[in-house]
Amino acid sequence: MRPPGRSVKAYRSRPFTSIVMQAAARRPRTNHLDLAQRILDVARQRGFEPGARLPEQQIASLCNVSRTPVRAALSLLAEQGVVRWQADSGYHLAIDLTTQPAIAAELPLTEEDELAEAILRDRSARRLDQTVTVAGLMRRYSAERKTVLKALNKLTEENLLDRAPGQSWLFRRTPDDPEAQGESYEFRLLLEPAAILTSGFRLDGARAATLRLGMEALLALPDAAFDTREFQRLDIDFHGMLAEGCANRFITDALADHLRLRRLPGIYAGVNVFRLRQSLREHLNILDHLESRQYEVAADLLRIHLRLSRNQRPQAASRGAPALFGMISRPD
């Protein structure tokens, strides 16, 4: 019998510095975490219900990997209570994935991922200067050199940092002040609708279906339970899907680089839940028209959506072009 593993929730609630000092704490590998999320996406797309069996070989084939990493990924999900292990039949889905969209945020982080998140939080709160060094971060977070380097390389790969001379790294400018936010939306208004209108644009149907489930589940929650972090994940993934569907690689790359900046903490600060809910409905409306291949209408709706988000004032919906909402319905 293979035990499903022990819970990791205890160390997630402790401060970062105390976590890294616990050498015995078991850390998952990044590829196992990524695979755990892929397993969840496959289960959602295929409509797996609670109790559905998750055969290792089938999952390995669907995810195009061997059975060994699948076992590790399923063990991580068992630690979170998402799947359960039965000695006679293996792993089974333990929850209804359509009603719990925020599972990704509950998965444990690798040590370098957790450090990268801590660095981003501190930079967003102005607790870190624009330029940081390996030695300074080692002291601040009581972290080993190799962990700091992995975290910095991760942030550099995501275009959030640039390598400077010596052992220094430079944070890129982020849309975290009114002027920068305005410039960010102007940039997106120029490129995102154009991405949809490029010849050869393709919508990832499976990804769109998963996003729709997540957005509808988040909309179904009461205001008190509305998860801003889950909104951020869905928002970035939705706009990232549009960028990746573009047939022009230069537009795709430019948008992908810019959208990475929106994962920083504090980007959605000050936006009320009413506007976030409105934004999700706009996403779903755009998605309806993309699935119906009404690309010009979808591009127009995207422009409206970005303008409303830039204003962050729901009353802006009464101006001019937003009247399109409610006039165009998805064909049966």
Q: Which of 216, 186, 217, 185 is nearest to 284 (CA)?
A: 216
H or E element in which residue 103 lies: helix 103-106
How far is it, in rounded angstroms, from Cα 104 to Cα 183? 30
Q: Look up the pTM and report it.
A: 0.59
167/326: higher pLDDT: 167
Q: pLDDT band for 17, please (50, 70, 90 cuts).
A: very low
pLDDT tens per residue across span 22-78: 433 445 555 677 788 788 878 877 778 888 888 888 888 877 788 888 888 888 888
Give residue-wise pLDDT tens across range 199-210: 999 998 888 988
Of 15-29, 148-162, 306-320, the one with minimum mean pLDDT is 15-29
In this structure, are residues 196 and 295 in contact, taking their beta carbons and an 8 Å threshold?
yes
Collapsing DSSP to helix, strand or coil, 133 comes out as: strand
Say what the pLDDT of residue 210 is.
84
- Tell me the C-alpha distance between 101 and 234, whole Å: 9
Q: What is the pLDDT of residues 299-314, one digit of tens each?
A: 999 999 999 988 864 3
HSE (side-chain half, CA atoms, 13 Å) at 330: 12
Q: How far apart are CA 138 and CA 153, in angstroms?
A: 15
Tokens for 251, please give them. Answer: 């537009």
Amino acid at 95: I
